[in-house]
Amino acid sequence: MIKRTQRIYLVLIVLLIAGFIINLCSGPTWFSPLTVLHPQPGLQAQTILSVRLPRALASVLVGAELAVAGQLLQTISRNPIADPAILGVNSGANLALIVGTVLGIPFTIRARFGLALVGALLAFCVVLGLSLTRNGMQPLRLILGGSIFSGFLVSVAYAVSLLTQTTAQYRTLLVGGFSGVTYDSVWLLALILLIVLLAIVYLRNSLTILTLNDQLAQSLGSKRNGTRVLASILIVLAAGGCVAVAGNIAFVGLGIPQCIAIISGHRFKQTVGQVLLAGGAFLSFGDALAKSARPPFELPLGALSAILGGIFLFAFLWRKQGALTT
């Protein structure tokens, strides 16, 4: 079992490194890995160090954070198809960014992060309120309410951008992508990931116990409500930061944790590292495809991840249906 886990980690690390290198080399003009390591002084070196490197780093960090946020949400809700994007967290952050900048708030990374955090938190509170009943949180209501509310927020965001004739300005926010990412964004994402990982280390045992039913978790001494509140704060923090940098990217938080669960099981403490690595690798390859498939134009990264995530979702539901009928 230990050797199998080690092999999985090795494969994921190799995929992450390969995705990072391919993303660094790809674009309207492809560079060889040797060129990336030893760029010619001038425009080539500036392109690699100032444009492609922060973008490649940001794609790894955003993929890792969205995947871990999805795993946290699936753990505290005990719902295998929970995802910050499906539950309106990403859409709330996106709408807050657009409304805030339309009202004249500076479009700096700090301001974007603050707006995204507020929007994500408000959206999450609304969806959580829709899912609560006298018997506690209902997973089905969480997913249905979140999906409907998320669609509503996306429609409002598009309406605001159309009415203010700023659709082109907010294209990255609406469709997702890493165009124009700077090192300031990379440092912000790195700080968020550090906070999330430190908190997960502190909560790892409680989060693992949460996968059990409430009665058994309580008998083992788990503080369910406190753990869920702290995990919710981490989800909002990670999702808000990712939207502030890369816009609305869906399904990473849904597909990656479930793929790892199929391979390694549902134990949070044992799989969170694998989810982190797989999320970073997935979005690295996705960003490389988005910017190199049809140069000089970029494909919307949110649409690419949604297509891949949608394929996975159908396959997952088909697999579950097959298991129930056998």
pLDDT for 262 equals 82
DSSP string, 240-277: HHHHHHH----SHHHHHHHHHHHHH-S-HHHHHHHHHH
Cis peptide before 139 (omega within 30 of 0): no
Helices (H), 32-182: 33-37, 43-46, 53-77, 89-102, 109-131, 139-163, 171-175
Residues of the chain with pLDDT under 70: 1, 135-140, 166-169, 211-225, 309-310, 312-313, 315-317, 319-326
pLDDT for 220 equals 47
d(CA 173, CA 110): 16
Range of the domain at 28: 2-325
pLDDT for 61 equals 96
pLDDT for 275 equals 94
Place of tokens 């509503």: 152
Number of domain units in the chain: 1
pLDDT for 190 equals 96
Taking only the tens place, the pLDDT of each residue in 49-90 is 888 999 999 999 999 999 999 999 888 877 777 788 777 888
Residue 9's CATH number: 1.10.3470.10
Taking only the tens place, the pLDDT of each residue in 98-139 is 888 888 888 788 888 888 899 888 988 888 887 777 766 666
Rounded to two decimals, the pTM is: 0.87
pLDDT for 188 equals 93
